[in-house]
Amino acid sequence: MLPRVKIFFENGLLGTASSSSDGLVGLACTAVAVSETFELAKAYVIRTLSGLEELGITSADDDANAFLYKQVKDFYSIAEDGTALWIMGFPNTALQSDIVDKTQDYAKLLIQEAQGALKGLFVAFKPANGYTPVIEDSLDKDLKTAMLNAQLLAEWSTTDLFAPLFIALEARHFDGDVADLLTLTTYEYNRVGVLLGDTVSASTGAAIGLLAGKVASIPVQRHIGRVRDGALPITAAYVKDLSVAKADVESIHDKGFITFRNFTGKAGYYFSDDCLATKETDDYRSLARRRTIDKAYRIGYSTLLEELNEEVPITAEGKLSPSLVKSWESSVETAIINEMTANGNLGADPSDPSDTGVTCYINSNQNVVSTSRIEVILRVKPYGYAKYIDVKLGFKTTNS
């Protein structure tokens, strides 16, 4: 086995029943080649919608890439001009499950071309004309395979490239039957989110570009449905052919999907929640927590990588030197404090100067001489999220 630094994600610890590259994401989308300007299976980095137009892709109804154009337009309706977006087009003969299959050169190729820099991958899939989906649990059956493949692809990126990311998929061909809708909370895909809903009525897909733009525009700890951020820059939102106001958004949410919602007395549309396709007890079920822990992973990895194959002083008892232990602990904590705590990414108590939101611990009793292995325990403190606010309202009398 080659010498390496390996970080394991711990789970079950929470007890639950833009000057940075944090928002760098990729879009894998079905498309067609444009002579001399846009090739399939080739990575492009754009920073504005006009950058896509320079590749020969327009919004014209008869443009075969109008679907790709919509995703990118939606992205930049939220993300500021100058925000980098990696895009790669693929033929519409590939299924959504094919695009995220780690054994095929589709989305995997985009991750490799970006050299592990992507923090999230968004998949937009428009099948070829004549495609007939097999409907199972109210959706295209292919979604189940796509979720599994996406989880495996994201895990591959984490374990092989040391570049953790999440993947967002479309819930396609929803037949409108919420009662029979697939229940995502029965799965264990904590790197996969599924969006159901679009800005176009009777759409067979989802507004994946809009979700990508939202993620790219906010810090890792921010909830995509945060009301204080303001409404999404859209004039309508639909679930199949029903407006969000008439759709059973609550049941769709309870099934574990990300969708759209609105609020009585408040104009506009918002994302409902940031659920990933996993059990409610999973520490990483929230996209915000997934992004937070992934950032800590990258910082911890890059910091400890500098120590790989380093000479390690040993005490007379064969233990790790206390000075080395403190040095490593301090290096990791300082890196995370500088890159996360200082940027408000961690839930450190602002009234407690000693609460940095991060703890790194190394047991000095480890026998590194015989094992060449050092175990490091790294913990970061997440935020809580005010998802449920209960108010007791009543009359006040003079004797109350």
Tell me the pLDDT tens digit for each residue of 64-91: 899 999 999 999 999 999 999 999 999 9
- pLDDT band at residue 319 under the 50/70/90 scheme: confident
Question: Burial code of 100-134, b = ≥16 C-beta within 10 A, e = fewer?
Answer: bbbebebbbbbbebbebbbbbbbbbbbbeeeeebe
Give long-range contacts, CB 8 A cutoff, 24+ apart: 347-355. 347/221, 347/381, 347/382, 347/383, 347/384, 348/381, 355/381
pLDDT confidence band for 255 (50 / 70 / 90): very high
What burial letters (b/e) apply to 299-316, b meaning 16+ CB within 10 Å?
Answer: bbbebbeebeeeebeeee
Q: What is the chain's alpha carbon radius of gyration, rounded to the nearest angstrom?
A: 23
Q: Tell me, what's the pLDDT at 19?
A: 46
Write out the two tokens for 375.
């175990």
Q: Please give the Cα distance from 293 to 63 (Å, whole number).
A: 41
End-to-end CA distance of the chain: 73
> Over 60: is that where the pLDDT of 224 sits?
yes
The pLDDT tens digits for 17-49 are 444 689 999 999 999 999 999 999 999 999 999
Q: What is the mean pLDDT of residues 205-217?
A: 98
User: Across residues 331-339, what is the average pLDDT?
Assistant: 96
pLDDT averaged over every residue in the chain: 93
> Helix (H, G, I), strand (E, B), or coil: what is residue 192?
strand
Q: How far apart are CA 312 and CA 264, in angstroms?
A: 62
Residue 228 CA: distances (Å) to CA of 220, 222, 224, 232: 16, 11, 11, 11
| Number of CB atoms found within 10 A of residue 218's CB | 20
Helices (H) and strands (E) in the chain, counts: 10, 16
Q: What is the separation of C-alpha 134 from the centre of its chain, rounded to a whole number of angstroms?
A: 27
Q: CB within 8 A of 370, min separation 6: which ones?
A: none
Tens digit of pLDDT for each residue in 377-396? 999 999 988 877 888 888 88
- The CA-CA-CA angle for residues 24, 29, 34, to 5°, reads 110
Distance CA 162, CA 62 (A): 42
Is 252's pLDDT higher than 60?
A: yes
Nearest one of 8, 1, 2 to 301, comparing CA atoms: 8
Prediction pTM value: 0.94
pLDDT score at 17 = 46
Mean pLDDT of 197-216: 97
For residues 93 and 62, the model is more confident at 93
Q: What is the pLDDT of residues 117-131, one digit of tens each?
A: 999 999 999 998 899
User: For residue 196, what pLDDT is reported?
Assistant: 98
